[in-house]
């Protein structure tokens, strides 16, 4: 989960220059938050990046990265797609291949709690929307990219799950992110013979700038605000470090798992939540 906080943490730190040199990295959900921070991080480390999001904002972000990368020969481009459908995921992959010719790394970052409330207060349509938002983009993107990575006999898929699989007031979101963890474990078994690694991080609470494109309705009534505060309190209590993380602290582990430095890691889910294992 992410939350607005005082520390924006939008800039990459502890950069490893050239770590992704010669690689094409696709980052989904790249217009804001963790996805944007990851795209900036891998671009700074030499990747040719393809930023995917359903928000038009992604083109602005890609242009900013392209401008900053122009001096070192790397490139960044934005692609708009609705990854909640297989058609959208397939179109995004095809566009990335058209633009770059290959894809070495896919980072699946789409997802996020839409509502925050006890499960008995969720309507059936809300439950469906939570699953569509936080499970299907990863499932469809993995399915769309897999034939290409099999054909090139190599690649890395990094999924972004969550430690909220054990958290209050987010049962549908927890179910979706639990599915992301399951995708990671099961697909790693199938993909390993083709030289493909499949890994994941499980972020905890993360401070981020205010979203330019909101996920859903904000807490309005006193009861809704209290439900959301329960999430914040539980997140901090569950962290041994008793705080939210920064975007940098999420982008770093994702970049590591995506890199050749993690070449002997697959099927693993790394909790990045200050000691909360979910």
Active site amino acids:
173
What is residue 215's predicted lDDT score, i.e. its pLDDT?
A: 74
Dihedral pair phi/psi, residue 55, rounded to 5°: -85, 135
Q: Mean pLDDT for each 10-residue chunk of the chain (278 residues)? A: 42 78 97 97 96 97 86 86 98 98 98 96 98 98 98 98 97 98 98 98 95 80 96 97 97 98 98 96
Q: Does residue 159 belong to any structural domain of this protein? A: yes
Does residue 278 sit within a domain? no
Residue 44 covered by a domain:
yes
Say what the pLDDT of residue 203 is. Answer: 98
pLDDT at res. 184: 98
pLDDT at 13: 63
Closest-CA residue to 207 (of 239, 185, 170): 239
Residues 207-262 have pLDDT tens digits of 999 888 777 788 889 999 999 999 999 999 999 999 999 999 999 999 999 999 99
Distance CA 161, CA 182 (A): 10
Residue 277 included in any domain: no
Domain count, the chain: 1
Structure tokens at 135: 């499970």
The owner of tokens 């493909």 is 196
Position 255 in a domain: yes
d(CA 269, CA 267): 7
What residues make up the domain containing 63? 2-272
What residues form DSSP beta bridges with 269?
200
What local confidence, expressed as pLDDT, does residue 80 receive? Answer: 98
At 10 the pLDDT is: 39
CATH number at residue 212: 3.40.50.720
What's the pTM value of the predicted model, to 2 decimals? 0.94
Q: What is the pLDDT of residue 70?
A: 59
Instruction: Find, among 169, 144, 140, the residue nearest to 155 by Cα.
Output: 144
Check the CA dihedral 5-10-15-21 and report its sign.
positive
């Amino acid at each position: 989960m992410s939350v607005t906080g005082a520390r924006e943490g939008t800039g990459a730190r502890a950069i490893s220059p050239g770590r992704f040199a010669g690689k094409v990295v696709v980052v989904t959900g790249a217009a804001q938050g963790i996805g944007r921070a990851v795209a900036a991080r891998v671009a700074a480390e030499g990747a040719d990046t393809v930023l995917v999001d359903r928000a038009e904002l992604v083109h602005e972000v890609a242009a900013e990265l392209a401008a900053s990368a122009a001096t070192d020969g790397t490139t960044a481009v934005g692609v708009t797609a609705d990854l909640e459908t297989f058609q959208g995921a397939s179109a995004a992959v095809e566009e990335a291949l058209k633009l770059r010719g290959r894809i070495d790394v896919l980072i699946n970052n789409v997802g996020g709690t839409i509502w925050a409330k006890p499960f008995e207060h969720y309507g059936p349509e809300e439950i469906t929307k939570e699953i569509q938002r936080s499970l299907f983009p990863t499932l469809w993107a993995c399915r769309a990219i897999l034939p290409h990575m099999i054909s090139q006999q190599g690649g890395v898929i990094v999924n972004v799950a969550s430690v909220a699989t054990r958290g209050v007031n987010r049962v549908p979101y927890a179910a979706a992110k639990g599915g992301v963890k399951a995708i990671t474990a099961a697909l790693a078994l199938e993909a390993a013979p083709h030289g493909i690694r499949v890994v994941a991080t499980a972020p905890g609470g993360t401070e981020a700038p205010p979203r330019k494109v909101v996920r859903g309705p904000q807490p309005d009534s006193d009861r809704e605000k209290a439900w959301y505060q329960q999430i914040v309190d539980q997140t901090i209590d569950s962290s041994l470090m008793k705080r939210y993380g920064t975007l940098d602290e999420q982008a770093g582990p994702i970049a590591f798992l995506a890199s050749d430095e993690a070449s002997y890691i697959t099927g693993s889910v790394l909790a990045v939540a200050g000691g909360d294992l979910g």
